[in-house]
Amino acid sequence: MLSEGEFFMIRELHQKGWSKTAIAKETGFDRKTVGKYLKSGKLPQSKSRKKRGSKLDPFKPYLLQRIQEGTTNCAVLLEEIEAMGYEGKSTILQDFVKPFRTEPKKQATIRFETPPGRQGQMDWAVNLGKFEVNGEKKMVHAFIMTLSYSRMKYVEFTTDMKLETLIKCHMNAFSYFNGIPSQILYDNMRTVVIKHSPVEIRFNRKFEDFLSYYGVVPKACKPYRAQTKGKVERLVQYLKGNFFQRRLGSTLEELNAQVRIWLDQTANKKPNDTTKEMPLERWQKEQPFLQTWGTKPLFSISQWEVREVSKDCMISYGGNRYSVPYRFSGSQVNVRLNERQELEIYYEQELIAHYPLASGKAKSIMTAAHYEGLPGTKKEQEIQNHNGLATLDSIIPDSVPTVETRPLAVYAAFEEGDSE
């Protein structure tokens, strides 16, 4: 006798265009049995006793719709139908959903436990779908970190995985945990690990400086052994199988707001299969062992770059050109984009110029004062639209002089000598 879930599965596959033979092969039932149930259009009742109604019955059309959308996570579905008024147990729901689920094959690994405060694990979940950012649809990725002892989790969605983004997300995670583990385990992502051989592990220098600033020691997994950091790998699976089974907003901002609620109300309150405790409860025990957060200024994520000043007193940045005082022509200067999206240009310790970052490409932005006193002929000092130099429209004046306005009759009087 078919279970109710198996019957609905047969009917669902038939509606999708599957043949009886294909359905029989998929479900393991005889082809004639499949044909009989499809022909009757209903699940046969046992003759011995009348089947009682289930508390789940009113919610089955909704569940079938969610299963068709791809959601088979019973924890998520239970939350949703309980909000709709379901008062039954989860076992009935699990029995109904089971035929629609495929059990993944498991690979044996050695479990690795750590004492409180010792270790965190970090990974990226990539290409999770497109969400709206400033009116444009962009692919998003998830920065994921978990504390190995407590299993306390942090997730943040981004549109890139650049070094500056990686550093910013780390600091946000430390703030969420209100503490810093003494070691963090990574796989061999290029922004973290430059070289990993049997005799040498070399980390990205700037990233290593960042971790050192907060007293963190990086540790790299062996190549092709990402399961070494199994706790965060399971979090990636949990994120995809639980959070992304929900109905989510369309923007990156909404997505990050929703994942914070999910972390606080679901992910960090669900008892862990190994520890049998909520991550939130174990984090309260672990927090005193973490390094203190918030005792020093945030690590600056502005990246310094070196530029050479051209003969026309310009440097190039982001596809545009900016002027500096002429005395630095031929020198090397350091440039960076600060937190206010302003370009700062330094010679040694001296700030010699700064500009709002120009939009677009192939523009030349010049300050008139940078050319005052430039040796040479008047013709050489003229700023023209020649050889890449800016026109007068692109010059940023230091100040605009006030010019006295006079009637035209005054000038006429000067020409006629009628002035006293």
Provide the pLDDT for residue 80.
Answer: 86
Helix, strand, coil percent content, the chain, rounded in steps of 5: 35, 20, 45
Confidence of residue 410 (pLDDT cuts 50, 70, 90): very low
CATH number of 119-289: 3.30.420.10
Mean pLDDT along residues 373-402: 47
Mean pLDDT of the chain: 79
- pLDDT tens-place string over residues 53-96: 788 888 888 888 778 767 788 888 888 888 888 888 888 888 88
pLDDT at 134: 82
Query: What amino acid occupies position 118?
Result: R
Per-domain residue ranges for the chain?
Answer: 4-100, 119-289, 305-396
- pLDDT tens-digit profile of 336-353? 887 677 899 999 888 999
Q: Nearest Cα to 333, choosing from 343, 341, 318, 319? A: 343
pLDDT of 41 above 60: yes
User: Over the stretch 123-169, which tens digit does the pLDDT of each residue have?
Assistant: 899 999 999 998 899 999 999 999 999 999 999 999 999 888 899 99
Burial class (CB in 10 A: 0-12, 13-18, 19+), 235: buried
Chain-centre distance for alpha carbon 213: 23
- What is the rounded CA–CA span in Å between residue 179 and residue 414? 80
Element (H, E) at 354: strand 350-356
Q: Is the pLDDT of residue 224 over 80?
A: no
Q: Which has more pLDDT, 18 or 390?
A: 18
Tens-digit pLDDT profile for residues 177-207: 999 999 999 887 778 877 766 656 778 888 8
pLDDT tens by residue, 298-320: 887 777 889 999 999 999 998 89
- Is the pTM here over 0.75, yes or no? no
pLDDT at 383: 45
